[in-house]
A and B are shown apart, each in its own frame.
Chain A
Amino acid sequence: MTDLSRIRNFSIVAHIDHGKSTLADRLIQLTGTVAERDMQEQILDAMDIERERGITIKANTVRIEYPAQDGETYILNLIDTPGHVDFAYEVSRSMQAVEGSLLVVDATQGVEAQTLANVYQAIDADHEIVPVLNKIDLPAAEPDRVKEQIEDVIGIDAQDAIEISAKTGLGIPDVLEAIVTRLPAPKGDRDAPLKAMLVDSYYDPYLGVVVLIRVIDGVVKKGDRVRMMKTGGTYQIDKLGVFRPKMQDIAELGPGEIGFLTASIKQVRDTRVGDTITHEKKQCQTALPGFKPSQPVVFCGLFPVDTNDFEDLRDAIEKLALNDASFSSEMETSAALGFGFRCGFLGLLHLEVIRDRLEREYDIDLITTAPSVIYHLHMKDGEVVELHNPADMPDQTLIDHVEEPRIKATILVPDEYLGDVLTLCHDRRGEQLDLTYAGTRAMVVYDLPLNEVVFDFYDRLKSVTKGYASFDYQMIGYRADNLVKMQILVNEEPVDALSIMVHRDRAEMRGRAMCEKLKELIPRHMFKIPIQAAIGGRVIARETIAALRKDVTAKCYGGDATRKKKLLEKQKAGKKKMRQFGKVEIPQSAFINALKMDS
Chain B
Amino acid sequence: MSRPDWEEGGFGLYIHWPFCQAKCPYCDFNSHVVAQIDQDRWKRAYLSEVERLAAELPGRTLQSVFFGGGTPSLMAPETVAAVVDSIRKAWPVANDIEITLEANPTSVEAGRFRGYRDAGINRVSMGIQALNDDDLRRLGRLHSVAEARTAFDTARDVFDRVSFDLIYARQHQTVGDWRAELTEALSMAADHLSLYQLTIEPGTAFGDRFANGGLKGLPDDDLGADMYALTQDLCDKAGLPAYEVSNHAGDMAQSRHNLIYWRAGDWGGIGPGAHGRHTIGTQRFATETALSPMEWLLHVEKQGSGESARTEVSPEDQGTEYLMMGLRLAEGIDLARYQRMTGDAFDTTRLKPLIEDGFLEIEGSRLRTTNAGRPLLNAILRDLIV
User: A558 and B261: CB pair below 8 A?
Assistant: yes
Nearest A residue to B311 via CB reads A562
Q: Which residues of B contact A553 (CB under 8 A)?
A: 199, 245, 377-378
Cross-chain contact B246 with A526 (CB below 8 angstroms): no
A549 to chain B, nearest CB (A): 3
Q: Does B317 contact A (CB under 8 A)?
A: yes
Beyond A526-B376, A550-B376, A583-B353, is A558–B14 a contact (Cβ under 8 Å)?
yes
Interface status of B382 (Cβ within 8 A of chain A):
yes
B residues apposed to A, CB below 8 Å: 14, 196-199, 221-222, 224-225, 228, 245-246, 258, 260-261, 267, 269, 273-277, 286, 288, 317, 320-321, 324-325, 328, 353-354, 357, 359, 374-382, 385
Q: Which residues of B contact A569 (CB under 8 A)?
A: 320, 385
Give the residues in chain B near A548, CB-CB below 8 Å.
Answer: 221, 376, 379
- Interface on A for B, CB 8 Å cutoff? 524-527, 546, 548-559, 561-562, 564-565, 568-569, 571-572, 575, 583
**How far, in whole Å, are A558 and B276 apart by their CA atoms in the complex?**
7
Nearest Cβ distance between residue A125 and chain B, in whole angstroms? 56
Q: Tell me if B221 and A562 are in contact (CB < 8 A).
A: no
Please determine whether B275 and A550 come into contact, CB atoms closer than 8 angstroms: no
C-alpha gap A557/B263 in the complex (Å) = 11
Report how far A546 CA is from B221 CA in the complex, Å. Answer: 11
B14 touching A568, Cβ below 8 Å: no
A552 & B378 in contact (Cβ 8 Å cutoff): yes
Q: List 20 A-B contacts (CB under 8 A).
A: A526-B354, A526-B357, A526-B379, A527-B357, A546-B222, A550-B222, A552-B245, A553-B199, A553-B245, A554-B199, A556-B324, A559-B275, A561-B261, A562-B286, A568-B320, A568-B324, A568-B378, A568-B385, A571-B378, A571-B382
Q: Assuming the A-B contacts A550-B228, A552-B376, A554-B197, are A561 and B382 also in contact, with contact meaning beta carbons closer than 8 angstroms in the complex? A: no
CA distance A549 to B325 in the complex (A): 20
Residues from chain B with Cβ under 8 Å of A565 in the complex: 317, 320-321, 324
Q: Knowing A556-B245, A558-B14, A559-B275, say if A549 contacts B222 (CB, 8 Å).
A: yes
- CB neighbours of A575 from chain B (8 A): 382
Contacts of A552 in B (CB 8 A): 245, 374-378
Enumerate chain A residues within 8 angstroms of B328, measured Cβ to Cβ: 556
User: Quick one: given A548-B379, A549-B375, A568-B385, are A555 and B246 in contact (CB under 8 Å)?
Assistant: yes
| Complex alpha-carbon distance, A559 and B273, angstroms | 8
**Alpha-carbon separation in the docked complex, A556 to B261 (Å):** 9
A439 to B382, CA, bound (A): 62
Main secondary structure of the interface of B (DSSP, over half): helix
List chain B residues, Cβ under 8 A from A526. 354, 357, 359, 376, 379-380
Contact B267 A561 (CB under 8 A): no
- In Å, the complex CA distance between A572 and B323 comes to 15
Chain B residue at minimal CB-CB distance from A567: B378
Find out whether the CB atom of B197 lies under 8 angstroms from the CB atom of A559. no
Contact B378 A572 (CB under 8 A): no
Which of A524, A525, A561, A562 neighbours the largest number of chain B CB atoms within 10 Å of its CB? A561
Interchain CB contact (< 8 A) of B385 among A558, A572, A583: A572
Residue contact A555 to B378, C-beta cutoff 8 Å: no
Question: Bound complex: CA of A556 vs CA of B288, how far in Å?
Answer: 17
A211: min CB distance to chain B, Å: 53
**Residue in contact with A558 in the complex, picked from B275, B357, B359, CB distance below 8 Å:** B275
CB distance from B273 to the nearest CB of A (A): 7
Instruction: State how many angstroms separate the Cβ of A539 from the closest Cβ of chain B.
Output: 24
Q: Are A555 and B196 in contact (CB under 8 A)?
A: yes
Please determine whether A549 and B225 come into contact, CB atoms closer than 8 angstroms: yes
In the complex, the chain B residue whose C-beta lies closest to that of A550 is B225
- Smallest distance from the beta carbon of A574 to chain B beta carbons, Å? 9
In the complex, A549 Cα to B379 Cα: how many Å? 10
The interface residues of chain A lying within 8 Å CB-to-CB of B381 are 568
For the complex, what is the distance from the CA of A571 to the CA of B376, rounded to whole Å?
Answer: 14
How far apart are B130's CB and chain A's nearest CB, in angstroms?
15
Nearest B residue to A575 via CB reads: B382
Residue of B nearest to A583 (CB): B353
Q: Which of B222, B225, B269, B376 is A559 in contact with, Cβ under 8 Å?
A: B269
Within 8 Å CB of A549, what residues of B? Answer: 221-222, 224-225, 375-376
- A167 → chain B, closest Cβ, in Å? 39
Interfacial chain B residues near A551, Cβ < 8 Å: 221, 375-379
Known: A565-B321, A569-B320. 5 other contacts (CB 8 A): A548-B379, A558-B269, A559-B269, A571-B378, A571-B382
Could you tell me the distance in whole angstroms from the C-beta of B319 to the nearest C-beta in chain A?
11
Chain A residues near B377: list those with CB within 8 A.
551-553
Q: Let me know if A550 and B274 touch, CB within 8 A.
A: no
Q: Is the CB of B275 within 8 A of A562?
A: yes
**Chain B positions within 8 Å of A561 at CB level:** 261, 275, 277, 321, 324-325
B357 neighbours in A (Cβ, 8 Å):
526-527
Chain A CB within 10 Å, residue with most, of B198, B276, B378: B378
Complex CA gap A565/B380 in Å reads 14
Contacts of A556 in B (CB 8 A): 245, 324-325, 328
